[in-house]
Amino acid sequence: MTAETQIKDTISTNDVVLFMKGTKSMPQCGFSSRVAGVLNFMGVEFADVNVLADEDIRQGIKDFSDWPTIPQLYVKGEFVGGCDIITEMTLSGELDTLLDENGVTYDKDAADKIREANA
């Protein structure tokens, strides 16, 4: 199976996927940790793909999305963005809207707490 096929399969069979350095329970970089932390805190069920475990996937996801950095978040098969974009979307409420529109369950109170803590 090619990296592209593996990536397509992963994002099509999971509502939310985070391609990251490390895992959701043990991130291996600050940016991955921030995005995984937000998703975990908000109670979002997501698949994590550790790009450090497979060099083909690590490069393949960058080619697939035409985005040069990790982490990368996908919701319902669509690329959303990296750490800065997810942080901005969380603080503005856009992430809530995106999750709502795609039928992804999350804790709205937790999302509000993130915004309150960063106001």
Burial of 57 (0-12, 13-18, 19+ CB in 10 A): buried
Q: 55: which 2 tokens?
A: 């060099």
Q: Which amino acid is at 55?
A: E
Residues belonging to the binding site for [2Fe-2S] cluster are: 29
Distance, CA of 106 to CA of 8 (rounded, Å): 24
Three-state helix/strand/coil letters over 20-46: ECECCCCECCHHHHHHHHHHHHCCCCC
Residues belonging to the binding site are: 29
**Angular region, 62: left φ>0, alpha ψ -120 to 50, beta rest:** alpha
